[in-house]
Amino acid sequence: MKISLNYSVHLSQIMSSQLTLNLIELEYEKVLSEVKERLIQGEEPMRIIKECKQGLALVGERYKKKEYFLAELMLSGELFKDVMELVEPYLNENTTEENIIGKIVLVTIQGDIHDLGKNILATLLKLEGFKIYDLGVDINPDIIIEKVKEIKPDFLGFSALLTTTFDPMKYVVDKLKEIGFRDQLKIMVGGGITNNLVKDYIGADFQTIDGTLGVQYCLDVIKARGGG
Amino acid sequence: MKEEYMTSEERITAAMNLEKQDRVPIVPLVGMDLAATYYKLNTVEMHKDPIKGLDIMLKFFDEFGGWDGHTTFPLVKSAYIISGFKVKAPGQELPDNYFAQFDEGEWMKVEDYKTIADIGWSKFVSNEYIYRISDWTPEDVDKARKEFWKLLLKAIEEWVVKRKTGLRTGTSRTHPFFTLSLSRSMIKFTQDLYYRPELVEAALDTMTDEYIKHTVSQMKYTGGNVAYIPEERAEGAIYPLKIFERFWWPYTKRIVEGLNDKGITPWFHLDQCWDLNIPYFKELPRASCILDFDGLTDIFRAKKILKNHLCLMSDVSASLFSIGTPKQVEDYVKKLIDKLGVDGGHILASGCEVPPDCKPENFKAFLKTGKTYQLSKE
């Protein structure tokens, strides 16, 4: 028996498709079987993606209302990944899902091999239309600097679970300042050991231990720049 | 300034029982990584020979004038593997100057839940899982177990007998929920909780009974009286209360009851933010366990809710130790003592481990303020 989520259905959801509703309720099997069926029947894949994204947006709404937790955000993100695996073979080369609203480089710096928080944030940002450049874990600071120069992202996001990452992160920020790249991007830091003290120490613009706040920060920055 | 009049053991016992002490007991989590860094060593050899890791911890303890309680042994890779956790170690999978870290992945499979429910975690690990997370042979497993017991007994001799520290842990096993989350990986485990709840429950059920039995038996052997139980994944920052109520709380209550019956106090090491879950702990008997936070839970709010009910272990954060100033550390320790120690139920500690790059002057400020503040005030 699947665990019942038993949350109230909002009016906006009643107007949604069954696929959207099933995604909101995290009905894993139902979502995937409907997607498979509709693809076989030749339905336009972008329409399926759109309905799923509507579901994801409503999952996010429930999270903001504290009806859903990080667990449900993760589950919806995983479910969407599985939907995309089914849909991708049906997308032709010219199909563009949506315009990219911003670029972000995500990384766990040298000395630290943890990637859970970084991966969750990457999933959430991707769903909002950000292009993710995930450099991985245990990455040399100079490689990060080179990647920032090459990609010219809107954001650089550090994930950290060890205090020994503070100085290497500070090195990257200082170096970006030195070579004139600092003002062109916002720098974020997150992870269980981070707080405002760490933000100020490394010279970041934003700190959080809540991935959804990280996403909101990125959206706010893009909006303030007139994008999004 | 007043004089101390209690031993470390008496001080800690009083705190656990919510009674007044001469001064707050001090129990920072200091592992071999910090000690090794302080002495400008890497930990490669210590992972190969854990006694060297213990020796460096003892040297550090003595040099800094000691404190009231300590966990008992260095967390080396072999100790993790014996318990069923895949870890990367310096000099092996990581460069020499790195620190050991969990290698989280989907090492445990969905089908393993049934095996665990049938035979328990320990047998599952011994029979098959240990060979999935390591390249060990059965002979390596036997050797590592013998070395581990030798280490544990030496650690108890050094800490408890020679240095008279309190808080005799004598065992360290993660909460069954956390064990499964680490072994399945957090996202897969979350999917299991929602889509395969009966499988998880059956495994948790067996693991909880096994946990109590194992801990009681190990405590008889080591003479410990406090069971250190880390948990970082069940809190309201991640899961809704209906998940907590179904998969964590009932098993935790069973652990508290089962261990209390045998005179053992559980020490729940609760990393991350537990704000939403704190009121549940009111359901436990008074003075039945210690709750230990890492700086992300609002410990002052927790105190208001659990005042005169449970002992709280405080939370000087890793970042404060690492990049704060001695004055910032001193101020925070004073705040903790003033606000948390009112009913006696406070143990001054680090939030999770004191980090390896802790500034020595910050650690000194932590110890000095803890040892002198109350005595100079009263």
Residue B70's pLDDT is what? Answer: 75
pLDDT band at residue A9 under the 50/70/90 scheme: very low
pLDDT band at residue A75 under the 50/70/90 scheme: very high
Asked whether the beta carbons of B271 and B350 are under 8 A apart, the reply is: no
Residue B170 lies in a domain: yes
Low-confidence residues of chain B, pLDDT below 50?
none
A111 touches chain B (CB under 8 A): yes
A69 touches chain B (CB under 8 A): yes
| Yes or no, beta carbons of B320 and A163 under 8 Å apart | no
- CA A1 from chain center: how many Å? 30
DSSP code of residue B278 = G
Lowest mean pLDDT among A29-33, A89-93, A162-166, B49-53: A89-93
Which domain covers residue B123, as residue numbers?
8-29+64-73+99-377
Domain boundaries, chain A: 11-90, 102-224
| Yes or no, beta carbons of A71 and B194 under 8 Å apart | yes
Between A139 and B344, whose confidence is greater? A139
Q: What are the strands, taking DSSP E only, across chain B? A: 87-88, 101-102, 226-231, 265-270, 290-293, 311-313, 346-347
Asked if pLDDT for residue A93 goes beyond 50, the answer is: yes
Same fold: A11-90 with A102-224: no
A164 touches chain B (CB under 8 A): yes
Residue B71's pLDDT is what? Answer: 66
Asked if pLDDT for residue A14 goes beyond 60, the answer is: no
Nearest to B318 among A71, A116, A163 (CB): A163
**Residue A99, class by beta-carbon neighbours within 10 Å (0-12 exposed, 13-18 middle, 19+ buried)?**
exposed
Structural tokens at position A104: 């972000």
The ipTM assigned to this model is 0.91
CATH of the domain at B327: 3.20.20.210
pLDDT band at residue A3 under the 50/70/90 scheme: low
Residue B37 lies in a domain: no
Q: Torsion angle, CA of B53/B55/B61/B65, rounded to 10 degrees?
A: -160
Nearest to A75 among B191, B322, B324 (CB): B191
Between A98 and B106, whose confidence is greater? B106
Residue B21's pLDDT is what? Answer: 93
Residue B223's pLDDT is what? Answer: 85
Residue B240 lies in a domain: yes
- Which single residue is written with the structure tokens 């999004």? A228
Asked if pLDDT for residue A169 goes beyond 90, the answer is: yes
| Yes or no, beta carbons of A164 and B317 under 8 Å apart | no
B25 touches chain A (CB under 8 A): no
**Mean pLDDT score of chain A, rounded to an integer?**
89
This prediction has a pTM of 0.92
**Residue A87, class by beta-carbon neighbours within 10 Å (0-12 exposed, 13-18 middle, 19+ buried)?**
buried
As a CATH number, domain A102-224 is 3.40.50.280
User: Average pLDDT of A110-139?
Assistant: 91
DSSP three-state, residue A1: coil
pLDDT band at residue A7 under the 50/70/90 scheme: very low
| Yes or no, beta carbons of A198 and B319 under 8 Å apart | yes
Residue A11's pLDDT is what? Answer: 41
Residue B115 lies in a domain: yes
Count structural domains, chain B: 1
- Give chain A positions within 8 Å (CB) of B186: 74, 116
Q: Give how far B275 is from chain A: nearest CA, Å.
A: 14
Residue B129's pLDDT is what? Answer: 97
Nearest to B357 among A2, A164, A210 (CB): A164
Question: Which of A162, A194, A213 is most worth mutating to test chain B (most B CB atoms within 10 A of its CB)?
Answer: A162
| Yes or no, beta carbons of A195 and B317 under 8 Å apart | yes
Residue B338's pLDDT is what? Answer: 95
A137 touches chain B (CB under 8 A): no
Residue B312's pLDDT is what? Answer: 98
A11-90: what fold? 1.10.1240
Residue B139 lies in a domain: yes
Asked whether the beta carbons of A109 and A139 are under 8 A apart, the reply is: yes
B320 touches chain A (CB under 8 A): yes
Residue A97's pLDDT is what? Answer: 54
CA neighbor of B338 nearest in space, from B365, B364, B310, B299:
B299
Residue B277 lies in a domain: yes
Asked if pLDDT for residue A96 goes beyond 80, the answer is: no
Residue A40's pLDDT is what? Answer: 94
| Yes or no, beta carbons of A74 and B187 under 8 Å apart | yes
Residue B40 lies in a domain: no
Residue B378's pLDDT is what? Answer: 63
